[in-house]
Structure formats: structure tokens, C-alpha cells
Amino acid sequence: MISYYSTFITGFGAVVKSALINSLKNVKVELLADGLIVYKTSSSPNAIQKIKFLNNSFVLLKKVDNLTADPINDMMQIFLYEHKIENYIRRSIKGKRVKFRIRASIKNQFVSIDKDVLKKLEKKVEKISEKLQLDRSLPDIEFLLNVRSEGFGLIGLRFTHRGNYEKILEKGEIYPALASILCLISEPNKNDIFLDPFAGYGSIPKQRTFFPFKQIIAGDKDEKLVMDLSKKLWTRDDKVVVNRVDAYDLKDFKEDSISKIVTDPPWGLYNAKNFDVNKYYSMMLQEFCRIVRPKGLVVILTAQKELLETIHLKFVELELMEKYNTLVSGKKAGVYKFQIK
């Protein structure tokens, strides 16, 4: 089995570990840290690339302990002279020409590398195979020297290409990996009648389509968003439905008609004048309790953590099962999993 490491959104270690074991073959988790999982598996990199709840994934070329005060140099020297790393790269590069680059990171922040040492390392990599070609701007693969805050280093070969979501996503749209994790927390199954009443740009319902379901209902109060989302989620049957809905007044939904709700109430509204957050959260939870069937689940992503923790106590039928602390675009947020009694 080959060793890999993958990064994921902070705060969801237990969820990611369990889901990874269920997603790949013969998984052995060797290390679980904040936003990082190191593991061995007999599954291929292609299988890992398809996993939606991970950020970037790497072949683990070397884990480096006992770093000195100059950890990047420590790892550069190992990269230069470790034969196992060279042998793995040589075996892995097959077929067409592959463009590469080398970068370094300390505590999740990219840092510069001494130019002379970097050039020496780049030339070494190019000599490993004539198919390897340096391209610092648009590479096919990336070698990353990753120094972690826990005190160890990872030399990895990145094989995923998630893109720069900050440029791709709309303002307020959550990352696909986070949406996938929210769906995982809701324990998806083939009998789910699933609702996201704050669907917005559709991140959550779109990710939900990658899991088994009976029906997905995506709704929003904004008519234009609903029209755009209808095009994104269009299907030939009625298994995925997009409607204009008001999450604070779900009158079109019968009691006990929904099995799962996963949603991300809009954050910007709460800064608007004359918007009573207390009132609207109470209305939202009241409607959720009415339409979700007994034993059904509600998963909410919010920055209003204290408010939600206080208001949910008013609803005896709403039991808090799990809570996760995370960051969304650098802001503190919480994910709450409730069950309807």
C-alpha cells in the first residue's frame, strides 16, 4: 500500500476519518491532525481525486521528524539525497511529459526557498526522468515541503487540482468540500427526502447529488437564484426539485414530510438594519421541527453559534447530537447536528 496525506477543512477530523475509511480500499489511518490526515490505502490516486470532502491530496514521499530551526533546509537536503524519493518519482512518471514545480509551506503559509538550493533541487528532479519539465506557473504536479505546526514535516507529491475557489465561487457560496462534509454529517441514505431551504448558489444540494437519495429539494427566497439553480440542477425526473421557498414560512411542506435538512442560513442578512435575528432563527427552527419527521436530522452551518445554542433549547423536540467548530473564509463558525425526537 502507498502512503498519502490529504488536507481538509478544520474541525471535521472524526467525520473525514470515518468517511475516508468507507470511501477507499484497505485504509490504515496513521495520523489525524487538525485539517490533515495521513493514511495508507490500496486505492489509486484516481480514486482519491474523486473524493469530494477532501481539499488537496498528496503521495507522502517522506515524513520528517526532529526538524531543526531551519526546517525547510532540512527537508530540501532529504529531498536531494533520499534515494527512495527518487526511485518513487522515476517509477511514477510514465507516458507523456509532466510539468512540475517545487514549493514550501510553513504552518499552511507558502514561503520562499533559497534560489540556489531550489535550482539545485529542480535540476535533480529533471534528471530523474526526461519526461519531467519545470513549470513554476502551470504545473501538472507539485512537490510540496510542508512544515506543520505540530513540529513535523511532510514531503509530498500533490496530484489533485481543486482550483482557486476564491476566484471561482460567488460571494457567500461555500466551498464544495465543506458542502460535502455537511452532507456527510447528515448520514445520507437512499431513502432521504432532503431539503436545503437556503440553497443560494446550490453548493449543498449539488454535493448532495453525489450521495444516494430519494428526492432533493433546493429552495431559496431569491427568484433569480432559484432560476439560476434550476439550470444547474436540472434533471429529467422529479428527483431534484428547485422551488422558491421562504425558510421562515414553509407552508408548502406538510408535517413530517422531510427526512433531512442541511442548510447554511445567509450571513449577510444578520447585519442588515431592522433584521431581528432572534425572531427569524426561532421561526426557522419552528418550521424545521414541523416538517422534519421524527428521527430526522437537521444540520445547520452558522456564525451565530451562541444564538442557535440558546434558541434551540426552546424546542423540546430538537435534540443537539453533535457540534463542530470550524472556519469559513477565516471567520469562526459552527456546524450543528440536531435530531427530531
pLDDT digits (tens, 9 = 90+) for 102-122: 999 999 899 999 899 899 999
- Pinpoint the residues of the chain covered by CATH 3.30.2130.30: 2-165
Burial class (CB in 10 A: 0-12, 13-18, 19+), 317: middle
State pLDDT tens for residues 302-336: 999 999 999 999 999 999 999 999 999 889 999 99
List every span in the chain annotated with CATH 3.40.50.150. Answer: 167-340
pLDDT at res. 233: 84
Residue 157 β-bridge partners: 59, 143
Which of 201, 239, 192 is closest to 220 using CA atoms?
201
167-340 falls under which CATH superfamily? Vaccinia Virus protein VP39 (3.40.50.150)
pTM for this model (two decimals): 0.92
Provide the percentage of residues in the chain whose pLDDT is more than 90.
80
Helices (H), 67-198: 71-81, 83-92, 115-128, 165-168, 176-185
pLDDT at 14 over 60: yes
Q: Which amino acid is at 297?
A: L
Do 14 and 22 touch, CB atoms closer than 8 A?
no
Whether the CB-CB separation of 199 and 266 falls below 8 Å is answered with no
Alpha carbons within 13 angstroms on the beta-carbon side of residue 65 total 0
Provide CATH code, domain 2-165: 3.30.2130.30
Residue 41 has pLDDT above 80, yes or no: yes
- Of 273 and 205, the one with more pLDDT: 205
Q: Where are the beta strands (DSSP E) in the chain?
A: 2-7, 28-33, 36-41, 57-64, 98-106, 109-111, 132-134, 141-147, 153-158, 193-196, 215-220, 240-244, 258-263, 292-302, 318-328, 331-340
Grid cell, residue 132, equals 519531467
Question: What does the buried/exposed string (b/e) look like for 78-101 if buried means 16 or more CB atoms within 10 Å of the residue's CB?
Answer: bbeebeebbebbeebbeeeebbbb
3 state SS of 223:
helix
Can you give the pLDDT at residue 166?
66
Euclidean distance between CA atoms 204 and 195, whole angstroms: 10
**Strand, helix or coil at 18?**
helix
The one-letter code for the residue type at 59 is V
Dihedral sign of CA atoms 261, 266, 267, 269 in order: negative
Compute the C-alpha angle 335/251/264, nearest 5°. Answer: 20
Phi then psi dihedrals of residue 211, to 5 deg: -110, 160
Quote the CA–CA distance of 214 and 234 in Å, as a whole number. Answer: 16
Q: pLDDT of 152-211, one tens digit each?
A: 999 999 999 876 666 677 787 899 999 999 999 999 999 999 999 999 999 999 999 999
- Region of 275 (left: φ > 0; alpha: ψ -120 to 50; beta: rest) is beta
Give the integer Cα–Cα distance in Å for 72 and 212: 44
Q: What share of the chain in percent tops pLDDT 70?
A: 96
What are residue 242's phi and psi, to 5 degrees?
Answer: -120, 120
Helix (H/G/I), strand (E/B), else coil: 125? helix
